[in-house]
Structure 1
Amino acid sequence: MRVLIAAGGTAGHINPALAIAGALKAADPAAEIHFAGRKEGMEYGLVTKAGYPFHHIEINGFQRKPTLKNVGRNVVALYHLALSGPRTAAILKEVRPDLVIGCGGYVSGPVVRAAAKKGIKTAIHEQNAFPGVTNKLLAKDVDVVFAASAAAVEKLGAPEKTLVVGNPVRPEILNRDRAAARASVHAGDRTVILSFGGSLGARRINEVVAELCAWEQANDLPVLHLHATGSRGVKLFEDLEAKNHFAPGANLVVKEYIDNMPDLLAAADLVISRSGALTLAELEAMGRASILIPSPNVAENHQYYNALELQNAGAAIVIEEKDLTGIKLIETVHALLAEPGKLTAMGTAAKTLGNPKSLELITAKLLELVNGK
């Protein structure tokens, strides 16, 4: 079996794609799995690190806001779009796949569409409750549509061939031991709060978390707070420490980037983060309470709709960035800590939303598709 997976843009697209690749390889060790994506994108590093062959195709989205800079970007996007047809044809000719899977990002569009036109078996996976434009366009052409959320089925426009399977998460997320993880960060009996805004960092999250950390230290709370600033937030957070009169120490650990997320999620009682599909899938798999701050800078505002599903289930509290202040975050955390059993109940609710068999369901259907059963 030869498989080509197209995914790019964000970890929320790429990590589910890698999880699917790993599951297919486990089910069929002889399978040859290739990836297509942008060489300048996040996918190149993650895919090559995982050891899969990578095929470069350049494709960009069009910018809607009419600025001079965006005009230039759109000219480049048109150029790449014109080249995407021949490049896709060359990749398909080289790989000769039996199956092509699109896991999101602009790169999925030309690759999956060309494969479908050639009669190659095709599938897509939509990670969000509010589907992206690319997958909505592809849904009518592919053989199978996988949706993470039931809320996405009608929006994708192909309910007759759509399966609700959840978001696949890395096996190491599902297998982490909580007691061992808490011991590794010396949590003791303290409530562990984990906060982050992504690998680059989110300025507003850094600002309000700094106020929260200052409040925690001023009130000597029995809390261990673990915070990742992101690469763009390192200097900012150092300045905020001085401004708000707090400092890392026994109850506060500040890092640029979290490279052991499975361990920290296992140790955490409360997570403060954006609401990308990958993050939410991991919160659900782990069963963690959360305060979710959707990014306002994503297509179709999909992070907000993702977050609402957890809030409606009693698993999270959603604070939109336009309403986010340090005081608002402090009040929210204070209320959660003050109610015995509240974080545990929210975590239990989160776990009911996850699908631990997501990878099994996806893999079984893909093998069925390829084998024609």
Structure 2
Amino acid sequence: MRVLIAAGGTAGHINPALAIAGALRAADPTAEIHFAGRKEGMEYGLVTKAGYPFHHIEINGFQRKLTPKNIGRNVVALYHLALSGPRTSAILRQVQPDLVIGCGGYVSGPVVRAAAKKGIRTAIHEQNAFPGVTNKLLAKDVDVVFAASAAAVEKLGAPEKTVVVGNPVRPEILTQDRAAARAALHAGNRTVILSFGGSLGARRINEVVACLCGWEQKTRQNILHLHATGSRGVQLFQDLAAREGFAPGENLVVKEYIDNMPQLLAAADLVISRSGALTLAELEAMGRASILIPSPNVAENHQYYNALELQNAGAAVVIEEKDLTGETLIHTVQDLLAEPGRLTAMGAAARTLGNPHSLDLITSKLLELVKTAQ
């Protein structure tokens, strides 16, 4: 079995694609799995590090706001779009796939569409409650549509072939020992708060978390706070700490980047973060309460719709960035901590939204799809 997976843009697209690739390889050790994506994108580093063959195709999205800079970007996007057809054909000839899977990002569009036109078995996976444009366009052409959320089914426009499977998560997320994770952090009986805004860092999250950290230390809360600033937030957070009068120490650990996320999620009682699909899938799999701050800078405002699902289930509190202040965050944390058992109940609600069998469902359907083509 030869498989070509197209995914790009963000970790929320690429990590589920890598999880699917790993599950397919586990189910069929003889499977040849290839990836298509942009060399300049995040996918190149993640895919090649995982050891899969990578096929370069350059494709960009069009900018809707017409500024002089964006007009130039759109000219480049048109150029790459014109080249995408021949490049896609060359990749398909080289790989000769039995199955092509699109996991999101602009790169999925030309690859999956060309494969479908050639009669190759195709599938897409939509990670968000509000589907992206690429997957909505592809849904009518592919053989199977995987949706992470039931809320996405009608929006994708192909309910008769859409299967709700959740978002696949890294196996190490599902195998963490909470007691061991907390012991490693010397958490004791403290409430563990984990906060982050992504690998680059989100300025607004750093600003309001700094206010929260100042409140925690001034009021001597029984909290162990773990915060990741992101690469662009290191100096900013140091300046904010000086302004707010707090410092890292026994009850506050500040890092640029979290490289042991499964362990920290296992130890956490409350998570403060953006609401990308991958993050939410891991919160659901772990069963963690959260305060979610959707990024306003994403297509179709999909992070907001992702977050609403958790809030509606009683698993999270959503604060839109336009309403976000340090005081708002402090009061929200205060309210959650003031009610005994509230965080535990929210975590239990989050767990009901996750699907620990997501990878099994996806893999089984994909293997069945390939079998019907033989």
1:166-189 Cα offsets, whole Å, 9 max, x none, are 000011000111011111111111
1:231 aligns with 2:214: no
Whole-Å separation in 1 of the counterparts to 2:365 and 2:107:
23
- Say which SS state the counterpart of residue 232 (structure 2) adopts: helix
- Could you tell me which residue of structure 1 aligns to residue 287 of structure 2? 287
Q: Does 1:342 align with 2:320?
A: no
Q: Map 1:178-193 onto structure 2 (within 5 A).
A: 178-193=178-193
Partner of 1:45: 45
Partner SS for 1:246: coil
User: How far has the Cα of 1:77 moved from its partner?
Assistant: 0.4
> Match of 1:127, as an amino acid?
Q
Paired with 1:190 and 1:38, the residues of 2 have a C-alpha distance of 44
Equivalence map 1:348-359=2 (5 Å): 348-359=348-359
Partner of 2:175 in structure 1? 175
Distance in 1, matches of 2:234 and 2:58, equals: 31
Please tell me whether residue 302 in structure 1 is matched to residue 302 in structure 2. Answer: yes
Work out the CA distance in 2 between the residues paired with 1:241 and 1:95: 53
Paired AA for residue 293 in structure 1: I
Opposite residue 328 of structure 1, the aligned amino acid is T
Query: Which range moved further: 176-185 or 292-301?
Result: 176-185
> Any stretches of 5+ residues in structure 1 without a counterpart?
none
- How far, CA to CA, are the matches of 1:42 and 1:251 in structure 2? 34
User: Aligned equivalents of 2:198 and 2:189: distance in 1?
Assistant: 28
* Other-structure match for 1:126: 126
Letter of the 2:318 counterpart: V
Structure 2 partner of 1:59: 59
> Amino acid of the residue matched to residue 5 of structure 2?
I
2: CA distance, partners of 1:177 / 1:24 = 26
Find the counterpart in structure 2 of residue 262 from structure 1: 262
Report the aligned-residue RMSD. Answer: 0.6
- Same amino acid, percent of matched pairs: 87
Residue 176 of structure 2 aligns to a residue in which SS?
coil
SS of 2:295 mapped into structure 1: coil
For residue 330 of structure 2, what is the aligned residue in structure 1? 330
Structure 1 Cα separation of the partners of residues 19 and 59 of structure 2: 23
SS at match of 1:168: coil
Per-residue CA distance 1:288-330 (angstroms, 9 max, x = gap): 0000000000000000000000000000000000000000000
- 2:77 corresponds to which letter in structure 1? A
What CA distance in whole angstroms lies between the structure 1 residues aligned with 2:75 and 2:150?
A: 37
| Aligned partner letter, 2:243 | K
Which AA in structure 1 matches 2:86? P
* Cα displacement string for residues 115-137 of structure 1 (whole angstroms, at most 9, x for unaligned residues): 00000000000000000000000
| 1:192 Cα deviation from its structure 2 partner | 0.3
1:1-373 mapped onto 2 (5 Å cutoff): 1-372=1-372
Runs of 4+ in 1 over 6 A off after TM superposition: none
- One-letter amino acid matched to 1:258: I
In structure 2, distance between residues paired with 1:56 and 1:187 = 45
The CA deviation string for residues 141-177 of structure 1, in whole angstroms up to 9 with x for no partner, is 0000000000000000000000000000011000111
Cα offset, 1:38, TM superposition: 0.4
Give deviations 1:258-303, integer Å, cap 9, x for gaps: 1110000000000000000000000000000000000000000000
2: CA distance between counterparts of 1:199 and 1:185? 22
1:174-230 CA distance string (max 9 Å, x none): 011101111111111100000000000000000000000000000111100000000
AA paired with 1:351?
A: R
CA distance in 2, matches of 1:46, 1:69: 29
> How far apart in 2 are the matches of 1:121 and 1:253?
48
Q: Which amino acid aligns with 1:83?
A: L
The CA distance in 1 between the partners of 2:78 and 2:186, in whole Å, is 53
Q: Distance in 2 between matches of 1:85 and 1:243?
A: 54
- Structure 1 distance, partners of 2:231, 2:60, is 24
Letter of the structure 2 residue corresponding to residue 233 of structure 1:
G
Offset, 1:66 = 1.0
Distance 1:23 1:160 in 2: 25
When the two structures are superposed, what TM-score results if normalisation uses the length of structure 1?
1.00
